[in-house]
Structure 1
Amino acid sequence: MTDARTPGEFDPPRPAVEAIVDLALAEDAPWGDLSSEASIPASATATARLSSRVDGVLAGGLALATAFRRADAGIEVQLLLPDGAPLTPGAEVAVVRGPARGILTGERVALNLAQRLSGVATLTRAYVDAVAGTPARIVDTRKTTPGLRVLEKAAVRAGGAHNHRHSLSDAVMLKDNHLAVLAAEGLGIAEAIRTVRSRIPHTTTLEVEVDRVDQIEAVLDGGADIVLLDNFALADLVAAVALIDGRALVEASGGVSLDTVRAIAETGVDIISVGALTHSAPALDLGLDISVR
C-alpha cells in the first residue's frame, strides 16, 4: 500500500499529520537541503528500504509516508506492514522510491517520527501484556510531546491500549489543584462536584481525583462518573475499590511502572493511566538504507 492507501485502523486524521510534518520539514530544511542540492543530481532516483533493527511494535506509518511525500510529491512509499504489527530484527517496514534528493531531505523527519511513534507503541504493548487476563484497561495521559499529541495517542492505540481525554476540552477532570481552589472559595468536594455537574452537558464525563480513601464518599455523593485514585498504596487501592463498589469507574494513577502495573491491575481497578507511555518511551531503532538505481 502507498501513502494514498485506505486509512489504517490507528491512523490519526491526515490533515493533522500533514500539518505536523510540514512544521518538521520547515524546521529541518528551512531554506532547502543544502547537502543534497549541492551533491545529488536533480535527475537522480533511488530506492530506500526501511527495516527494524530490534524487536518492537510498528506505529507512525502514515507520518512516515507523509514526510517523504511532502518532501517531494514524486516519491512513492509502499508500507509493507500496518501500524500495530510486531517487529523483529531485519523486518522490512517500507520501500521508498523516487527522486533521490527528496528521499534524502525527508529521511530524518520520517525516521524521527516513525522511531518515536514505534517506541511509544512498543512500550505500550509491554504494559498491555503485563496486565493481560485482568479487567484493567491501560490508558495514556496528556503527558505528550508538545505538538505530537495526535500522533502519540494514535501510537498508544497501535500498541493495544486506549486513550484518555485528548485535551482539556474533552471532559471534566477535577484534580487536587482544582479542589484546592474550590475549597478556598468555601465549597466542599460534594458541593463543588454538584455545581460543576449543573454547568456541563449531561453527556460530559466528570472525573475527580482523590489522594485519600476518606475523600471518596464525598466524591461519590457529588455524582462523579470516575474516581481517580492518585498514588494509592496497593492496600488502599483494594479498600477504595471495595468502598466504591461499582458506583463509579475506578482509575489508578501514579507510581505505575512495568514492575508495579500487574499488582495494581489485580486490585480490581477499571483503568490504569500511565504517563510513561508517551513521556518516557525510547525511540525504536529503525534504519533506512538507500541504493541508487
Structure 2
Amino acid sequence: MEWLFKFPQLNSDLLLTFKRAIDGSLRSLTRVYGQSIEDVFYPLQRVLIFFENAISNAPWPLVVLALSAIAWLAARRWTIVGAVVGTLIAIGLLGLWQDAMKTISLVFVATIFSISIGIPFGILMNRFKQVGGVLQTILDIMQTMPPFVYLIPVVMLLGIGRVPGFIAVVIYAIPPIIRLTDLGIRLVDKEVLEAADAYGCSPWQKLLKVQMPLAMPTIMAGINQTIMMALGMVVIASMIGVQGLGLNVLQAIANQYFTQGIFNGFAIVGIAIIFDRISQAYGHRLQKHRGRAHE
C-alpha cells in the first residue's frame, strides 16, 4: 500500500541525464555563440545607455518641468501636476534623484518596447482565432510564472547587465497590453462596425480608423498595467545588475539597512503613482471623449 502514499517517480538516473543534457547544451550554446548573441543585442544596449544618460544627466528642473508638462497634457488637472512636482522634489531631497532617473529611464524604454510589441500581437490575437488561442495559453503561462524564473534564461544567454534585465522586465510586463488590446477591439459596438461596413471601409481602414480609436481607453488601461508590472520587475531585475532604486533595495536587504530600504521603497511607490495617475487620467479623458462621440 506504500504506493498510495508515495507518488511514483521517473527513473532518477534517466531524469538526471535529461537535465544535464539540456543544461550542457545551453552552456555549449553560450560558449560558442555567446559573443554573437551579445553583438545582436548591442544596439539595444546603446539605446538603454542613451536614454539613461539623457535622463540622468539632464538638469533636474528640466526633468521636473517635462514630467509636469506631460502630466498637464494627459490630465489637465493642476492637482495631478502638483502631485508629480511634489513627489519628484521629495525624491530629490532624499538623495535618490540619480537612482530614480535610472529607474524611470528603464521603465520608460521598457514601456515603449512593450507597447510596440504588445499592440500588434493584441491585434493578431483578435484577428486570427487560432493564433489567439495559442497566445492566450502563452500569456496564461507568462502571467503565472514566478518573476524570478524570467531571470534564468536571460542570464544564461547574456550574462549580467542592463540588457538581460531589460529583456526580463519587458517579458514580464508585456501580457497586459496584449490582452487589453484584444479586449478593447472586441468591445467595440457592432453597430459601429456595421456602419463602417456600410460606408465601404476595408478591414484595415475599419481597424485603424474605427476599432483602434474606440479601443484606446481600454488599451490605455493595458499600458497602465504594463507600467506597474515593469516597475515591480525592476526591483527583481536588480539581482542581475540593473541599476537604480531596485539595486538600492537589494543592498538594503543584504546589509539590513532599514532606512535605505524604506526610502528607496517610497521612491519606487512615488514613481509608480506618477505613472499611474498620468496614464489613468489620460485614459479617463479618452473615455469621456468617446462618450461624447457616441452622444
TM-score, shorter chain, exceeding 0.5 = no
The structure with the largest strand share of the pair is 1
TM-score by length of 1: 0.25
The structure with the largest helix share of the pair is 2
